[in-house]
Structure formats: C-alpha cells, structure tokens
Structure 1
Amino acid sequence: MSSSNHQESSGSRSWLGEARATILLALPLMAGQVGQMLMALADTVMIGRVGVVPLAASTFANTLLMVPFMFGIGLLACVSIRVSQGRGGKRHEDVKNVLRHGTWLSLAYGICTMLLILALLPFLDRFGQAPEVVAEAPAYLILCAISMVPVMVSIGWKNFGNALNQPWPPFYIQLSGVLCNIGLNWLLIYGHWGFPELGLAGAGWATLISRCLVMLALLLWLKRARSVKEWCPHHWWIRLSGGELKKLLVLGVPVAFQMVCEVGAFAAASLMAGRIGVEALAAHQVALTCASTSFMIPLGVAMAITVRMGEAFGEGQDPKKLHRILTGGWFYGVVFTGASMMVFILCGHWLAGKIVLEPEVIDLAAKLLVIAGLFQLGDGLQVISSSALRGMGDVKLPAWLGVFSYWLVAVPLGAWLAFGRDLGAQGIWWGLAGGLSTAGGLLCVRAWRLASAGPAADAQSA
C-alpha cells in the first residue's frame, strides 16, 4: 500500500515537474505573442489618428502581407523542430548546420516575399479597393515588403534561441523592437522633434527600421552570448548542403500549409460576414479581435511544447516522458482557454462595448463571443497537439487534418448555417466552432498515439 502511494506520488511529482518546465519556457513566448498583438494595436491607433484613408490603406497592405507572413512563420518552424531534437540528442554539429541553413532559408524566403509583393504593385487596383486607398497604399506597402527580409531572418534566429531553451534574450530583444516601433511611429507619422511628418509612410519606415534593429540585435546575441556559444557555428557562410535544406523544407512546408489553411478559413469567414452586411462584419471583427488576443496564451504554450517534445524525442526518451509533457500542455491549455471562455460568456457584452459604440453591433458581437467562448477549448487543444506533433517530426498528416477540419467542416458548415439556415454571422461562427473542435479532437488522438510509439515512430513520421 505504501509502495503504491510512493509510486503515485513520484509520478505526480514527475508530471508536475514537466508541467513546470513547460510553463517556464512558455512565459516569455506568451509575452512575446501578446507584445506583437499590442504592436499591431498601437499601429492601428496611431495610423487611425491620421485619417480613415491611411488606416484603410494600411489594412489593405497588411492583408496582402498576411498570407506570406503566416506561411513564413510556419516554414521556419522547422528550425525549432530540428534544433530541439538535435539538442536533445547532443548533436552539436547538426544544430550548427540547422542554424546555417535556416538562416539562408529565412533570408531567401524573405527576399522572395519582398519581390512578390513588389511585383503586385501595378495590380493593386484589381483588388476592388477604393481608388484613394489604392493610391495611398504603395508607399507603406513597399517599406513593409522590404521589412519582410529582416523579420523572416529574425523569426528563424528567435526559433533557434527558443529551441535551445533560451527564450528570454530573444523576448527582450523583441520587446525592445516593439517599443522602438512605437517611438519611431510617434516621430515619423506625426513629425515630432523636428522629424518629417510622413503620415502612413512614416509607419512603414518605423516598421522597417525596428525590424532591422531586432535582426542586428539577435545576430549580436548569437555571436557573443555564452549560453548559445557551443551550439553556434564558427563559420556561418559556407557552401550549402542540398540534403540539409531538403530536411528543413520537408518539415517546414507542411507546417506552413497547415497554418495558411487555418488563416484562410478565418479570412473566408470574414468575406462571408461582409456579404451579410456592415454590422455583421463589424461584429465579426470585434469577436475575432478578442478571440485572437486570448489565443496568444495557448499559442505560447504550444510553442514551448514543440521545443520540449522535440528535445525529449531527440533524447530517445520512453513514451512516459512524452505523455507527461503532452498532458502538461493540455492541462495548461484547458486552464487558460477555460478562463477565456468564462470571460467571453459572462463579459462579452462589456468587452464588445469597449471596442465599438453601435448597440446593434455590440449585441451581435456579444452573441458571437459566446460561441467563441465555447470553441476556446477545441482551439487551444488543436494548437497544442499540433505543436506536440511537430516536435516529434510529424507534420504531413496534421496538415491534411487541417485541410479536412477547416475547409471540409468549418467553411462549408458555416456557409450552410449562415445562408442556408439564415443564422447569419452566428452561423459562420458555429461553423468555425465545428471545425476547430474537429481539429482539436483529431490532433489530440494523433498526438497521444504518436507519443505512445515514442522515438520509434520517427521513421514513420519523417
């Protein structure tokens, strides 16, 4: 009896220890994600004070950049996966090769994205925007397109630091970049302290300068920090290996595809809401803003889970440790999404009233936030389970599960409920709830089964 109790206590301490390690890694990652949301909010407020047309032009430009930006984030997740697995297996040369090739990959992707956006400039009038918006957008869009090069390199290097369990230095550098961006906005948008008053173009310059400074700060940290010195190469710019690049792409492309599927589903939901009417679109945007902000917390946990599962997988640990890490991630996902669910359900009307003033929009947004509250659990579990699978190198099947959940469940169900059953914007959100819950359930089952197989599943998931 006492032996059994001792074993249970030991198992409990081990589970709590894994959960504690996960949350310690996740805290700066959560803070970093919230910081990015605050920077976007600050940009919106500061540009909005210039006028409605500049705000609409910045929204148009950021919409064009959103899909390639999210694809890049998914693509460069391969750095976290490979580095965490290499660190777990104490394979120093593998980790150094990942940093070298990951840097080239992020640089190449950033340049390709920049060239793609610049090639779109003559065709901006084809997107159905108001002529004054099309005329205002290029000055801002060009600068943001150029800034895709430093931001992609920064994401790759930040993923490298996170995978080495060194998340705080990249977080402080990123936070400094956010503050720098806000300060440069104040100087360059409004023309304070003798700087030229550039309006919307000033926001573009602020974005470009702050992103370049963040990239340079991360490079300086990688070059000089003792905590990562043993994992960094002495010679960065050597001839590339096609095999190493292929390994990164085999992991990164499916993750990018999965992320674009999810982002695309929410974009489709916005288009459907716009077809219903202005009030429906405004209420949809209010609910989406609240849901996106709360999502940053389980997303931070998910990023930590990728690193911890990858490290354990690289060590060749038995399935019990993988299960404990995964269970700890699910625990935090349930806690955080449960809290946001209660806030959305009980305080949705109050939250909507803090964002918009029109009573009909507030009422509809509050109803949408109730639905958002109900799908918080599925959303949190799907991102944590998907990230756990990435840590174990399993990226192809989760990508197809994303296609099924978002494009064969969420979007068609939402369209049918909104227009076939006349539920309007609420029908769209019930469709999103169905898709996210489907993804959550399928990915949870997949993650648990693959963790049960342990590192022996590596060949299967490669």
Structure 2
Amino acid sequence: MKRSQYTKEFSYNLKLAYPVILGMLGHTLIGIVDNFMVGSLGSTELAAVSLGNSFIFIGLSLGIGFSTAITPLTAEADAEKNDKKIRSTFHHGLLLCTILGVTLFILTVLSKPIMYLMHQPTAVADMAAPYIDWVAFSLIPVIMYQGYKQFADGLSQTKYSMYAIFMANVVHIFFNYVLIYGIWIFPKLGILGAALGTVISRIMMVVFMHFLLRKNAVFKRYFKNFSFKEIRKSMLKKIINLGFPSAMQMLFEVALFTMAIWLSGSLGKNSQAANQIALILSSTTFMIAMGLNVTAMIRVSYAKGLNDYKNLITIARSIFLLTIILETFFAITFVALHNYLPHLFLNMDDVTQSLDNTEILLIASKLLLVAAVFQISDGMQVVVLGALRGLQDVKIPMYITFVAYWLIGFPISFYLGKYTDFKATGIWIGLLAGLTAAALFLYIRFARLTKKLVLENQKDLS
C-alpha cells in the first residue's frame, strides 16, 4: 500500500487527537506544577510528592483504564446511529466510574503502610502520608470526569474535556501558589497545600465538564431520563467485561513505573528525585501518544461499527506511522537537551541544596538518554493498544502487557538497579525492555486479528 494512503489520514487524525493531547497535557501539568512549586522547598519534599503520587497513579490508572470501555461502545453505537444505546452507555458508564472512584479512594488511603515496607526513606514516607490522604480523595472527581470524557470522545467530540481541564489548571495553579507558600489570607501548608490545590481543581474539573456537555446541543438529549430504574445488569456487565481488562492493561504499565519510583527510593532520595524529573518529562511526551491512542479507539470503533475492516487497517496504520514520526522527534529532543532539562525542576540558587542538586542532575541526565530511546516503543505500544480496544479486543492484550512489563521489564529493572553499578539508569533500562516487548507483541496481535476479520468479512459478503 502506498505511503500516501496513510499520510492523507494525518490531518483528520491530528484534528481528533490535538484536543485530547492538550487535555492529557493538562493532566500532566497538574503534576508538573506540583513538582515545580514543591521542588523549591527541597529535595525531601520533592521526593515525598513523588512517592505520594506513585500511589495515586495506581488508582488513577485503574480508573482511566476502566473508563476507556465507554469510548468504543459509544463510537460503535454512533456509527450505528443508535441514540438509545449511546445514552445507555453513558449512564451506565458514569455510574460505574463514580462507584470505582469511591472504592479506589478508600483502597489508596488504606495502602499507605506499604511505603514503610518498601524501605523508603522515613522522612520522605512521613511527609508523603498526609499528602496521600488528600490527593486520594481527588480520585473520586477525576474518575467521574473520565466517564464524561470517554463518552464525549466516543462521539468524536474531543475538545470539551480539553476546555474543562484547562479551566481546572487555572484553579489548580492559583490554589497551589497561595496554599503552598501562604500568600495573602491563606496558611502556609507546604506539600499539603499542593494536595489541597489538586483536590479543589479536580472537583472543579468534573463540574466544568458536566456543565459544558449538559448545555451543548449535541449532548443535551443524552442527559435526559437518568434513573436507577433504567440501569440494566446486561449493560453493566458489558462495560465491566471491556473495562476490567483495560484497567489491568494500564495498571500493569503504571505499576511498573511505580515500582521504578520505589526502587529509586531504595537507592536514596536523590535517585528518587531524579527519577521523578525524568518521569515527568517522559510522561509529558507520552501524552502525545495517549492522544493518538484515543484517536485510534474512536476511528477503529467507528469503522468496526460500519464493518469496514480494510479501511480500519489503513486508518490504524496511519496512526501508527504518525506516532513513530512524532516520538522520533521527541527522542532527538531528549538527547539534545538531556543536560539542560533537569535544571527546570530544581532551585539552583539554594546553596544548601547544591550537593544534592549536583547528584540529581547527573542521574536525571542519564535517565533522559534512556527515556529518549524508549519514546518510540512507549508510543507504539499505547496506540496499538488503543486500536485493539477499538476492536473490543482486551483480554489477550491484558495477558501480553502482563508478560511484557512484569516477566520481562521488571526483573531487568530490579537486577540492574539493585545489583549492578547502573543503579537508577538500570531501572530505566528495564522499563525500555518492557515497553519494547509490549509494542512488538501487541502489534503482532493487531496484525493477526485484523487479517482474520477481513477474511471473515469477505466470506460473509460472498
């Protein structure tokens, strides 16, 4: 197939993806703002936020992964022009996201003792504990927001979540600033101020999203007739059957990165702080791939609803090619700026932190070189996963991601990090191995599955 057949899809893919990308970057910006403002307080505070967020990331990954089930079901119903099915998917999905948010909040708070079992620095763990209490509560509104977002994405209306999260970021920056540093009438709360800023902004995020959709002509009709009497066990089961494996897929990856935070913490607070800097930077570029992941879900689901499998393959491959091009650019950027980017997260004027800062900069610059290499693998695995979710193929990919991250990636991270001189860099080499294995195995799964679907469709038509 000619390359032009793929590249002609780029403009529409980017049109769908850019609001999702900006929205995802808005999510990441909340973490960046926390780290930027807390980083000026000291390396212990930065490490505490890193450790605390590692627990939140696990809950968030489960919530986001589960909510992705709403998008393919909505997009498929949209292709079928079935308004009743669209409304049912939205109502059942939002209910399940709310229940999941409350459950994850409780489980996250109860999991705090794990910090002390993982041999984290005591000062860091003590500071992280109250931070976790507050930020864990924000899982309730943020997972509810995901229910709204995935529904809107399924109807190819990707810009509304971007608007909601941008407004939430304005709220977040204001409350972070006044509560961390004690500006005007507000108390000086340090990292607890960062936690409260996150909670307030995430509550406002779901409020903004609700009103943006409810007042819009496209969505208004889907908000009507919400009643618990209309809740059906069959629809709940359908969303759970798609959502649970999707949640596990995301959990396996995020848990691997969380383990990297914990392993880095066992090497010392400076390794943990350096890990956090590299993680924030690589997470920022990963949001581009996450935007294309949603685009793949939407477009593949829609083509599936039309039974147009040949065009489905062309669309998916165009998204894969676009991802490779963009992630290669980011890889080159990381290599070129690996000695400069870590400076953005540290207070270089604080003489008392100079020794710590020097070590953090040295470690972080090496981690960014490894992060540069895995840009392409990380981008590819997530967009192929999006295409597979669009096909509602989630169980086999769940097993693939477990093998790639926990039977390949983690043992390499653990061995190189704990038992060799690579230390923090070795941990990230393990991440690279896991992501590369996932990208390869998932693509093989997609190629085989779509070939089978095309053949079956041809038989049905003949």
Q: TM-score, normalised by structure 2?
A: 0.87
- 1:427 Cα shift? 3.2
The alignment status of 1:438 with 2:429, answered yes or no, reads no
- 1:422 Cα shift? 4.7
- 1:410 Cα shift? 1.2
Structure 1 residues 426 and 330: alpha-carbon distance in aligned structure 2, compared to 1, 3 A threshold? same
Please give the alpha-carbon distance, in whole angstroms, between the structure 2 residues aligned to 1:234 and 1:350.
Answer: 53
- 1:280 Cα shift? 4.6
Give matches, 1:326-405, under 5 Å.
Answer: 326-355=316-345, 358-359=357-358, 361-405=360-404
Structure 1 residues 283 and 199: alpha-carbon distance in aligned structure 2, compared to 1, 3 A threshold? closer
1:164-213 per-residue CA deviation (whole Å, 9 max, x = no partner) reads 11111221111000111111223333443434444444333332222222
Give matches, 1:151-300, under 5 Å.
Answer: 151-230=142-221, 232-239=222-229, 240-276=231-267, 280-300=271-291
The alignment status of 1:74 with 2:73, answered yes or no, reads no
Which segment is superposed worse, 366-375 or 260-269? 366-375
Structure 1 residues 347 and 433: alpha-carbon distance in aligned structure 2, compared to 1, 3 A threshold? same
1:319-366 per-residue CA deviation (whole Å, 9 max, x = no partner) reads 221111111111111111110111222332233455566555544443
CA contact (8 A) 1:322 1:454 kept: no
Which segment is superposed worse, 54-63 or 32-41? 54-63
Please give the alpha-carbon distance, in whole angstroms, between the structure 2 residues aligned to 1:426 and 1:50.
Answer: 26
CA contact (8 A) 2:324 2:376 kept: yes
Please give the alpha-carbon distance, in whole angstroms, between the structure 2 residues aligned to 1:46 and 1:280.
Answer: 19
CA contact (8 A) 1:313 1:454 kept: no
Count the aligned residue pairs. 447
| Uncovered stretches (5+) of structure 2, i.e. residues with no partner | 349-356, 458-462
- 1:238 Cα shift? 2.7
Structure 1 residues 349 and 395: alpha-carbon distance in aligned structure 2, compared to 1, 3 A threshold? same
Please give the alpha-carbon distance, in whole angstroms, between the structure 1 residues aligned to 2:421 and 2:179.
Answer: 47
- Residue 352 of structure 2 is matched in structure 1 by none
1:210-266 per-residue CA deviation (whole Å, 9 max, x = no partner) reads 222221222222222112235x14211332211111111111111111111111222
Please give the alpha-carbon distance, in whole angstroms, between the structure 2 residues aligned to 1:270 and 1:60.
Answer: 7
- Residue 4 of structure 1 is matched in structure 2 by none
- 1:67 Cα shift? 1.0
1:68-108 per-residue CA deviation (whole Å, 9 max, x = no partner) reads 11111101111112111211222211111111111110110
- 1:315 Cα shift? 1.8
| Uncovered stretches (5+) of structure 1, i.e. residues with no partner | 1-7
Structure 1 residues 430 and 124: alpha-carbon distance in aligned structure 2, compared to 1, 3 A threshold? closer
CA contact (8 A) 1:68 1:113 kept: yes
CA contact (8 A) 2:181 2:189 kept: yes
Please give the alpha-carbon distance, in whole angstroms, between the structure 1 residues aligned to 2:139 and 2:25.
Answer: 20
Q: TM-score, normalised by structure 1?
A: 0.87
1:95-150 per-residue CA deviation (whole Å, 9 max, x = no partner) reads 11111111110110111122224445788766656666666556543332332221
1:356-392 per-residue CA deviation (whole Å, 9 max, x = no partner) reads 6655554444333333222222111111101100011
CA contact (8 A) 1:89 1:316 kept: no
- Residue 353 of structure 2 is matched in structure 1 by none
The alignment status of 1:325 with 2:324, answered yes or no, reads no
CA contact (8 A) 1:164 1:228 kept: no
- Residue 37 of structure 1 is matched in structure 2 by 28
- Does the residue aligned with 2:157 lie in a helix, a strand or coil? coil
Which segment is superposed worse, 369-378 or 89-98? 369-378
- 1:455 Cα shift? 7.7
Please give the alpha-carbon distance, in whole angstroms, between the structure 2 residues aligned to 1:400 and 1:164.
Answer: 29
- 1:287 Cα shift? 3.1
Which segment is superposed worse, 364-373 or 33-42? 364-373
Which amino acid letter does the alignment assign opposite residue 101 of structure 2? G
- Residue 5 of structure 1 is matched in structure 2 by none
- 1:277 Cα shift? 5.3
Which amino acid letter does the alignment assign opposite residue 370 of structure 1? L
- Residue 428 of structure 2 is matched in structure 1 by 429
The alignment status of 1:148 with 2:147, answered yes or no, reads no
Please give the alpha-carbon distance, in whole angstroms, between the structure 1 residues aligned to 2:129 and 2:416.
Answer: 38
Which segment is superposed worse, 122-131 or 92-101? 122-131
Which segment is superposed worse, 258-267 or 136-145? 136-145
Structure 1 residues 332 and 234: alpha-carbon distance in aligned structure 2, compared to 1, 3 A threshold? same
Please give the alpha-carbon distance, in whole angstroms, between the structure 2 residues aligned to 1:189 and 1:98.
Answer: 40
1:420-445 per-residue CA deviation (whole Å, 9 max, x = no partner) reads 66543333333222221111111112
Please give the alpha-carbon distance, in whole angstroms, between the structure 2 residues aligned to 1:248 and 1:129.
Answer: 38
